[in-house]
Amino acid sequence: MIIAQQKRKENIAEYLLYMWQIEDIIRANKLDIDLIEQNLISQYKIDEDKRKEVKDWYESLIKMMELENAKQSGHLQINKNVIIRLADLHQELLKSPKFPEYGAEFYKTLPYIVELRAKAGENKAGELETCFNAIYGTLLLRLQGKEISSETMQAISQISQFLAMLSHLYKKNEERPLFEDEDDNLL
């Protein structure tokens, strides 16, 4: 919860990947708050009030996972909403003449996205979700100590660069909307 709040403010892409990891950690602990408390929360060096707050957060995520049928796989709606907001911003950035560097970065990334979708048979995942799936899958492979090809690492590097740019623009947009109508200032 503490890390999630920090990542949410600083880097939306890292936040989403972290939340996907939390979903998997909850699943690994069988959606059992006692196991989560024993295996995770007890490791945190925090006071009792904060510990209760963290436990409540995990309990609320467990309840959401149960209600949203995400016990075995899939993502919580709160995390899907992040991708939706990012996809909306992504489309606005691509349409806008104010951000040509963003479009250029996306089009450098697009061949990797197409290739990943073809390899994974991912037809329903959007472009951004494909990017996040690639990054998350690579993180899992690294955690398992599996070898990652240089081609995959090249793709991941470009995807990471693209998502970093999108995250940066998302943060700027949160601080001050990037697409405010300039005519509104005349009123």
| Helical packing angle, 100-120 and 127-143, nearest 10° | 60
Tell me, yes or no, whether 187 lies in a domain.
no
Same domain, 63 and 134: no
pLDDT exceeds cutoff 90 at 156:
yes
Q: Is 103 exposed, middle or buried (0-12, 13-18, 19+ CB in 10 A)?
A: middle
Q: Which domain holds residue 89?
A: 80-178
Tell me, yes or no, whether 123 lies in a domain.
yes
pLDDT given for residue 185 in this prediction? 44
Q: How many domains does the chain have?
A: 2
pLDDT exceeds cutoff 90 at 125:
no
* Coil, helix or strand at residue 181: coil
Mean pLDDT taken over the chain: 93
Same domain, 162 and 89: yes
CA distance linking residue 65 with residue 19, whole number of Å: 12
Same domain, 112 and 158: yes
pLDDT exceeds cutoff 90 at 173:
yes
> What confidence tens digit (pLDDT) does each residue in 34-68 have?
999 999 999 999 999 999 999 999 999 999 999 99
pLDDT mean over 17-29: 97
pLDDT mean over 105-131: 90
Q: Which of 18, 40, 67 is the last residue of a domain?
A: 67
Following DSSP, what letter does each residue of 35-101 receive, concatenated?
HHHHHTGGGS---HHHHHHHHHHHHHHHHHHHHTT-SSSS--HHHHHHHHHHHHHHHHHHH-TT-HH
Running DSSP on this structure, what letter comes out for residue 152? H
Phi-psi domain of 74 (left: phi exceeds 0; alpha: psi -120 through 50; beta: other): left
Tell me, yes or no, whether 173 lies in a domain.
yes
CA distance linking residue 130 with residue 75, whole number of Å: 14
pLDDT given for residue 124 in this prediction? 76
Tell me, yes or no, whether 183 lies in a domain.
no
Same domain, 28 and 101: no
pLDDT given for residue 182 in this prediction? 47
